[in-house]
Structure 1
Amino acid sequence: MRIVQIAQRADDLTRAAEFYTMLLGCPPTATYDPPGLLFFDLDGVRLLLEQAAPPATLYLAVDDIEAAVSRLRDAGVQVVSEPHVIFGHEDDTLGPTGTDEWQAFVNDSEGNLVGLVEQRARAS
């Protein structure tokens, strides 16, 4: 099995389209309004922003968590939690062995929490 689609709540599709276009660096792949659906492609997984969906937390991989948070803050996005180490990967169960998992959290335009994740080589 593989993930095909993730849904998040979006009260205002136009506002959500602007936010996620800025966050992801690409425009929506499709909009259907009515019934209130907005889609983005995340490397083959559909992100559905839907007016009837419940709120959700989305975690996105980033190459440089500090740069991503800085860019979002400069764009006026509310940073809920600054970049910090969540845990170290001692084996490859959840990430590459010998890396630390850094996470930060921001609120999207619709009040959903978005986690930013960087797996970084552990400092010696």
Structure 2
Amino acid sequence: MQWNPLVPEISVSDFAKSLRFYTEGVGFSVAFTRTDPDFAYFDLDGAQLMLEADHDESWRTGAFDAPRGRGLNLQLEVGDVRAARDRLAQLGATVFRDLQESWYETADGPEGQLEHLVQDPDGYLVRLVEILDPPASA
């Protein structure tokens, strides 16, 4: 596995519950873990994320008020957003916005994605996206 130059690390209140959300629900695999405090480094087709259980020496810049991560969403490209949505629904994940097709204008033309936004057990917003084929030229 190649290490990315930017890897978000989020603090979580219930490590086991968050581990299940990100592995069974989202589809990450665990690259490695450690304990004291509980920690996991995840990978999903090159996308990487770290989780660490809350502990007294964590790098807190303020109170961990719910929902966590206000103002931040973690966009993650997945191969099948519907399958991820279904797995997350089975885990009882909180849906923020169900499937929606979104198109963005770029220098190379329109770029589209099918999006599903869900909150993890601590309220962090996760935006799962599946890239759509560009529209046919007229």
Please give the secondary structure, in 2, of the residue aligned with 1:39.
Answer: strand
- Work out which of the residue numbers 61, 85, 108 in structure 1 matches 2:120: 108
Structure 1 gap ranges (5+): none
Aligned partner letter, 1:31: T
Aligned to 1:28: 30
- Correspondence 1:18 to 2:34: no
Tell me if structure 2 keeps the 8 A contact 1:8–1:53.
no
Aligned residues: 119
* TM norm structure 1: 0.73
Per-residue deviation, residues 86-113 of structure 1 (Å, max 9, x unmatched): 3244543xxxx44422322001122211
How many Å apart are 1:39 and its aligned residue? 1.5
How many Å apart are 1:78 and its aligned residue? 1.6
Per-residue deviation, residues 14-44 of structure 1 (Å, max 9, x unmatched): 1111111113435422222213422212344
Look at both structures and tell me which one has the larger radius of gyration over its CA atoms: 2
CA separation in 1, counterparts of 2:120 and 2:80?
19
Tell me if structure 2 keeps the 8 A contact 1:17–1:27.
no
Quick one: structure 1 residues 27 and 101, their matched pair in 2 at CA, closer, same or farther if it must change by over 3 Å? closer
Please give the secondary structure, in 2, of the residue aligned with 1:31.
Answer: strand
Tell me if structure 2 keeps the 8 A contact 1:89–1:101.
no
Please give the secondary structure, in 1, of the residue aligned with 2:102.
Answer: strand
* TM norm structure 2: 0.67
